Structures are given as C-alpha cells and as structure tokens.
Amino acid sequence: MEVLARADKLLKQHKLVEAIAEYTSTIHKLKTTGSQQVLSSAYNNRGQCHYLQVDFYKAIDDYTDSIKYNPDNTTALYNLAQPDLETVIKSFSKSLSSNFKEYSVKVVDCPDLTVSPWNLAQPGLCGAPSVADVGGVPNLIPTPKVEKQYNLDMVADSCGLPGCYVIGPSAVASKLLGKNAELVNNVKTGKDGVVKSMYTKIVDDEENVFECKKYPHNEFGLLGNLFLCRGLPGKVIHVTAKVRTGSLNFISCLNRGLAEDIPDPVAVGGTFLLTNGKAKLHVMPGFSSCPLNSDDDVNNWLRFFEMSGPLTHTSVFVSKDPGLDLRLEHSHCFSEHGEGGHYHYDTTPDTVCYEGYFNLADSIFRVDPPSETHMIGRD
C-alpha cells in the first residue's frame, strides 16, 4: 500500500522508533481521510514494531485495533523475520541431541509428498509459506461455540493466498459430520481443488470405538492451525530422529530449540511420520454436556489411545507468541491402517523412529480470534 510504503520500509530496516513515528502519523491522517482497510494495516504493522521492542501491551492494543478497523476480515498479519536455515539446523540439532540417541537435520529438495505413506494432496511445501491460526480453543472450551464454522477457501483468500495448498490440524465441521472429531486438513483450494483430508471420530462413546475415514469437505470448525503454501517443490528441512532419551516429544523438541536459540518468533509447518513404534493420541468424543473448566475436566472428557505407526502427521508450531493468542504446537495424524488422532508423544522410546519435512513460514495470520481467551486445553 503506497501510503504505508515509507513506514513499511523503515520496519523492514528494523528502524523501529522511526517506523512507529511514521505509522502513528499515517494513522492520524487515515482516521479522517483514509480507508478502513489501510488503517487496519497501519495498526497491524505498528503493533509488530511494538512487539519487536518487547512492548507487548502496546502490540496487543494495536493488533486489536487492526481487527476493529477491518471487522469483515478479522485477520491480523505478523510478518516474520525469517532466520537463515543454518541457524535453524543448529537449533534443531542441539535440541535433538538432548532428546534422541540418533538424529539428522539437513536442507534437501522436497521429495514428492503425494506418494505413500505421506499421501499429501500436493507434492511440495514451498511457495509463499505461511501459518494461519484460525478461531481457537476457547471456541471449544469451556462450552462449544458450534456456530464457529470455517471454509478453507475463505481462509486462503483472507490470507492473500487464493487457490493455495493447506495442511494442518483442526476440528471438523460438526454440522457436516454430525459429531465433533479430529481432522487432518489436506486440501488444494480453488476451482481446481483437491481434497484428501482425513478425520478420526469416536463412533460409540460408550465403547470407545473410533474410525478414521476420508473427509470430502473444505469446511472445518472451532479451531485450526494451518500451514499454507503453493504446494511446490523446493528446499525444505529434513529431520530424522530415533530412540528417544529425553522427555520431550518430537515437535516440542524442535520447537524448544527455536525458542531457546532465536529471539524472534519462528513459525514452522510440515509433515512427519512416526515410522516405527507407537504413540499416545486422543480423539474428541461428542461435545461435553457440562462446561470444561480445567485441564483435568478436558482430560477426563477426551478419549486416549495408543496407536501404531506408521502414522502420517501434519503439524504447525510457533516458537513464541507475538501477542496474537496463538496455539504454539498442534499435530494431527492419520494412517493407511485406520488409526489417527491428536498427537501427544510416542510411548515406545526405545524403538521409535521419526522422519519429517518442514518449511519456515514468512508470515503468521491470525483469523477470527476468540473475544475471550484462556490457556485451558492447549497441551
């Protein structure tokens, strides 16, 4: 946007004091003569400046005003200062070394991820990589807001990526499935769309019987942590790990390394396999008839299972929250043998093997954040 060009240039140069002054001057002018959409962008970008100055309260105020001035969009944008890949490789390697007996981290050309056992809808993870946090756990807990239903094409459009490829965990659109369930989104949006999503739901709440099946829809509900890209081949980070010796699960291990070593937020999306061993997963049953007011309430409501590999996961993780009320880690999985759900950790540390392909996001989009928030049920 031309009116913001000078301020945006200062932000990219990390001249934060000057950028804030420029955005503030522009905001004053836009309040009387400018468009609401441009004003929303000015508040959003000034909020990013405040975050980089570690002034979190001012950052949150500006992010809130950004959404207020563009309520039809309800999408806030955080542009990431992407670290170089060598820094990420060192961070991953250091953290893996304290949690796994064997590991490797390297940059490779992304293989064709449409083949078994990955079974993704597009071959790669490259091309305008971004992360979108949609809705949130407060839409589910303490009581479900079942009216919160989303469409992947609309999410892609609101993030400026129409027709993009979307993977990641969410809840299903309960109105379509007739029940709440875990969902792995795996969709090429747009007119030439391809849908290869999978859900896992409890079929019988009394008997704890579940099913993992195809989900032929672009709609999801309540919450979603999504990785968006063009689905193109390109350079990605390949990670393997075997024999867990520490207490962290595979994704938490990678994410802690980023949080400890890199000052700015880093957002990552991709896919990983639990190729050997078993994992603790949960599957949501039908919506609770009573409010879930604590983590104990949530755990008593969820149904937990031990499931066997190979399990194909889609995962999104963010090292630090830049004041957007993000869920920092979320992974769901499916398989060719009818098992899947929400990943917690492997239960066979002596034999477990992981392999994953990941890409770094350029931006974080916060779509329709809940008006009231809490930290219950975010494991």
Q: What is the pLDDT of residues 239-289, one digit of tens each?
A: 999 999 999 999 999 999 999 999 999 999 999 999 999 999 999 999 999
Q: Which contiguous run of DSSP H or E holds residue 59?
A: helix 56-68
Digit-coded pLDDT (tens) for 203-238: 988 888 999 999 999 999 999 999 999 999 999 999
* Collapsed DSSP state (helix, strand, coil) of residue 89: helix
Q: Which residue has the higher pLDDT, 62 or 293?
A: 293
Contacts of 343 (CB under 8 A, 6+ apart): 249, 251, 279, 281, 311, 313, 315, 331, 332, 333
Confirm or reject CATH 1.25.40.10 for domain 2-73, answering yes or no. Answer: yes
What are 203's two structure tokens?
């079929």
CB 346 within 8 A of CB 278: yes
Measured between its terminal Cα atoms, the distance across the chain in Å is 39
How confident is the model at residue 4, as a pLDDT? 87
Domain boundaries, the chain: 2-73, 85-367
How confident is the model at residue 207, as a pLDDT? 85
How confident is the model at residue 1, as a pLDDT? 57
Dihedral sign of CA atoms 230, 236, 242, 246 in order: negative
What are 233's two structure tokens?
């081949």
Report the chain's mean pLDDT, rounded to a whole number: 93
Lowest mean pLDDT among 3-7, 197-201, 241-245: 3-7
Q: Tell me how far apart the alpha carbons of residues 48 and 58 are, in angstroms, rounded to a whole number.
A: 10
What are 166's two structure tokens?
């979307």
In this predicted structure, the answer to whether residue 343 has a pLDDT above a threshold of 90 is yes
Q: Tell me how far apart the alpha carbons of residues 76 and 364 are, in angstroms, rounded to a whole number.
A: 8
Contacts of 45 (CB under 8 A, 6+ apart): 4, 7, 8, 11, 19, 23, 79
How confident is the model at residue 373, as a pLDDT? 93
How confident is the model at residue 64, as a pLDDT? 74
**How big is the chain, counted in residues?**
379
In this predicted structure, the answer to whether residue 331 has a pLDDT above a threshold of 90 is yes
Q: Which amino acid, 126?
A: C
Q: Where are the beta strands (DSSP E) in the chain?
A: 75-79, 100-109, 130-135, 149-151, 165-172, 182-188, 194-195, 197-204, 209-215, 219-229, 235-244, 267-276, 278-283, 303-308, 311-318, 329-334, 341-346, 353-360, 363-367
In this predicted structure, the answer to whether residue 118 has a pLDDT above a threshold of 90 is yes
Mean pLDDT in residue range 129-152: 96
How confident is the model at residue 272, as a pLDDT? 98
pTM value? 0.85
